[in-house]
Amino acid sequence: MDHTFQVDLRGIVDLLSHHLYGSPRVYLRELLQNAVDAITARRANEPTAPAVVRIQPPTSTGDGTLRVTDTGVGLTEAQVHELLATIGRSSKRDELGFARHEFLGQFGIGLLSCFLVADEIRVQTRHGDEPTVLWTGYADGRYGIQLAPAGTGRAEQGTTVTLVPRRDADQWFAVPTVTELARLFGSLLPVTVYVDGVETTAGPPPWAATVGGSPAARRDELIRYARETLGFTPFDVVPLSVPEAGLTGAAFVLPAPVNPAARAGHRVYLKRMLLTEGAEGLLPDWAFFAQCVVDASELRPTASREALYEDSLLESTREALGDQLRAWLVRLASTEPHRLGEFLQVHHLGVKALALHDDEMLGLVEQWWPMETNTGQMTLAEFRQRHGIVRYAATIDEFRQLAAVAAAQDLAVVNGGYTYDTEIIERLPNVDRSVLIERLEPTDLTTRFDALDPGVDLALRPFVKAAQQALDRLGCEVVLRAYDPPSLPALYLVSRSAAFHDQLQATRDQADEVWAGVLDALASSGPPERPQLVLNHRNPLVRRVTTLGDPELVGLAVEALYGQALLLGYHPIRPADAALLNSSFLGLLGRAVPGQE
Ligand SMILES: Nc1ncnc2c1ncn2[C@@H]1O[C@H](COP(=O)(O)OP(=O)(O)OP(=O)(O)O)[C@@H](O)[C@H]1O
C-alpha cells in the first residue's frame, strides 16, 4: 500500500534558518514578495486596482504582532487549503512547474521563512466577493482553517498576514529594523509600501527609462544615487542594458584602485526586489574596476534568493555587460583621452591584465599608458614613432643595468619589468605585424663596445692579466673596452644563462641531498658563460689605474671597481663580494691616509 511522506516542520524550519537563508531578516522580504505578487495577480484582471502594502509593527498594532496588509488578489477557501497547507506548493508556477514570468516567488516555501522569527502565522484573506478565510499555522506543523464569523470579514479584497513574534526574535520587529528592511529590499518595488504609515518605496530605479530629464541630469542623478547607496563618487557612470535578460542598470567606475581579487559585489534587483548587495559573476573578472546596480526580470535567483543562479543566461549576460564596459573604454579613448589617462592611472593593472587577451585593450595600453624608458616616460605608440623598433629590458634589474649605457649609445630602451609590461610588448607583433620588438640584454651591449687600438691593447695585456688574477676567485672575467659614457668606469654584465647558473648555485648550497643531486645535474647541462667586468678605457680613472706600477694597488683598485659596478647594476652581493668590498675599501683607505703606526 502507498504512503505519503510526513514532513517535520520544525526540521524544515531549522534547515531553512541554518542552511538556506543567511539571516532571519529575509522574513520581511518574503512577506513583501507575496504581497506584491498578489497585487500583480489582481491587476492582471483589474488594472486599476490599488497597489498598496501596509506594514504595521507591534508598536502600532498594539497586540504584540506584526501585520502586513495588501490589496492583492486574496485566496478562496479552496486555495487556502491547497496552497497554504502544502509545503512546496505555489500558485506561481505553470502546469509544467516553470516559474511564471510575472511573479517574484516560485518555490512555495517563502511563507515558512516567517517561522524563523514567529511562532504563529495568521492569514486573513478575501478573494473577490468570496467569504473571508482565516488560516492559522504554528511552527510545530499544526494549522487550522475557518471562515471569518459573520460581520468580521474583510471589508476589502486582499490579505493580511499576522506574525506572532517568537520570544527571542523581538529585535526583528522593532520599527527601525522593519523600516530599514522594507527600504533595503523593497524601495524600488512597483507598489507603494508603508511602514507605520511612512512610505518606504522610492519610485522607479534612477536609471529607468521612465525617469525623465536630459542625459546630463540623469547622470547627475545616478552619481547622487551611487554616493548615497554605494558610498562613493564614481569616476564615471556607464548605462547598462541587456534586453534578453530584461536587464537595465548602471555600472559605476570605481574612483580608487581595488585589489582585483577582493572586488566588491554588485547590487542586483530581480523584478525590482533586492536580491543581493554582493552578487558575484555579473561582470567578467577583468572588469573589477566597476560596481553595478542592475534590475533584471529574466535572471534566476537561487532558492535562498540571495545570489544569482549560474546558468547560460547569466553567462551571456556577463559577456554582454563586458562588451558594454569595453565599448565605454574605447569611446573614452577616442573622445576624452585625458580622462582615459586619469582612468589608467587608477586602474592600469586591470586594463593591462585584460590587454594580455584582448586586442582592443592592447591597443588602448599601447596608445595611452606611459611606460618608463631610458629617454623619459612615453607610451609604446610614441616610442615606436620616435625609435621604430621597441627595444625592451625584461626585468627592472636588467633595465637599471642597461639604461644609462644604452642611452649613451643612443639606444632607447623600455623598462618591461613592471607587471605585465613585457608580455604586453611581446604581444604587440601578434596583433600588428609591422611592430618590431627586440629584447635587450645587458650582454648585448658588448657588441656595441669598441675594441682598443691593437697597440694599446698589447701594451695593456699585463694590466688585464693582473686584474684577472685579482678577480679569478669570484668567477668573473675582466675585459677592457672603450665605450660611452666616459663617466662610467666599469660595467658588470651577466648573461641570462650566467644569472640562472648563479641562482642554481645559491639554491644548491641550501638544498638537501636529493635536490642537490638534481640541481647538480641541471647545472652540468652546459658550461655557463662567465659574468664580465668590462672596464671602460674612456674613463680617466680607469686609464690611470691601467698605468699603475704597484701590483697590490692594481689589485685593490680593480676589486673596488668590481664592487662599485656590482652596486651600480643592482646585482646581488654574495658573501664573497661583501668581503671583497670590505677589504678593498680598507686597503685603499690604508693607502690614502698617510702616516705610520
Ligand atoms: N499575501 C498573499 N496573498 C495571496 N496569496 C498568497 C499571499 N501569500 C502567500 N500566498 C499564496 O501562498 C502560496 C505560498 O506562498 P510562499 O510564500 O510559501 O511561496 P511562493 O511565494 O509561491 O514561492 P517562494 O517560495 O519563491 O516565495 C503562494 O504561491 C500564494 O499562492
The residue whose CA has the least distance to atom 7 of ligand 1 is 34
The residue type found at 453 is D
Residue 34 in domain: yes
Answer yes or no: do 436 and 454 share one domain. no
Answer yes or no: do 175 and 273 share one domain. no
Please determine, for the modelled complex, whether the ipTM score is greater than 0.95.
Answer: yes
Q: What is the CATH number of the domain that holds 577?
A: 1.20.120.790
Is 411 a pocket residue for ligand 1 (Cβ < 6 Å)? no
Answer yes or no: do 395 and 324 share one domain. no
Residues in the chain with pLDDT values less than 50: none
Ligand 1 centroid to residue 472 C-alpha, Å: 87
Residue 276 in domain: yes
Pocket test for ligand 1, best of 21, 28, 34, 163 (most atoms within 8 A of CB): 34
Domain boundaries, position 71: 9-198
Would you list which residues are annotated within the binding site for ATP?
30, 34, 70, 159
Is 159 a pocket residue for ligand 1 (Cβ < 6 Å)? yes
CA distance 409 to 396: 20
Strand partners, 379: 370
Ligand 1 centroid to residue 86 C-alpha, Å: 11
Last residue of a domain, one of 173, 198, 223: 198
Ligand 1 centroid to residue 110 C-alpha, Å: 7
What would the pLDDT profile of 469-482 be if each residue is shown by its tens digit? 999 989 899 999 99
Pocket test for ligand 1, best of 111, 156, 185 (most atoms within 8 A of CB): 111
Q: Which stretches does DSSP call E strand in 254-345?
A: 266-270, 273-279, 290-296
Answer yes or no: do 179 and 221 share one domain. no
Backbone angles phi, psi at 77, to 5 degrees: -60, -45
Q: Which atom, in ligand 1's list, is nearest to the CA of 90?
A: 29
Residue 550 in domain: yes
Residue 482 in domain: yes
Q: Which atom, in ligand 1's list, is nearest to the CA of 105?
A: 26
Answer yes or no: do 173 and 226 share one domain. no
pTM over 0.95? The answer is no
Q: What is the CATH number of the domain that holds 122?
A: 3.30.565.10
- Look up cell 642611452; give the residue: 407
pLDDT at 330: 84
Set of cell numbers at residue 255:
574612483
Q: Which of 30, 60, 271, 37 is nearest to 158 (CA)?
A: 37
Would you list which residues are annotated within the binding site?
30, 34, 70, 159
Answer yes or no: do 23 and 172 share one domain. yes
Q: Which atom, in ligand 1's list, is nearest to the CA of 108?
A: 19
Is 34 a pocket residue for ligand 1 (Cβ < 6 Å)? yes
What would the pLDDT profile of 29-64 be if each residue is shown by its tens digit? 999 999 999 999 999 999 999 999 999 999 999 999
Based on the structure, what is the number of domains in the chain? 4
First to last CA, the chain: 115
Residue 572 in domain: yes
Q: Are 580 and 563 in contact (CB under 8 A)?
A: yes
Query: Cα dihedral sign for 354, 356, 361, 364?
Result: positive
pLDDT at 444: 83
Ligand 1 centroid to residue 584 C-alpha, Å: 88
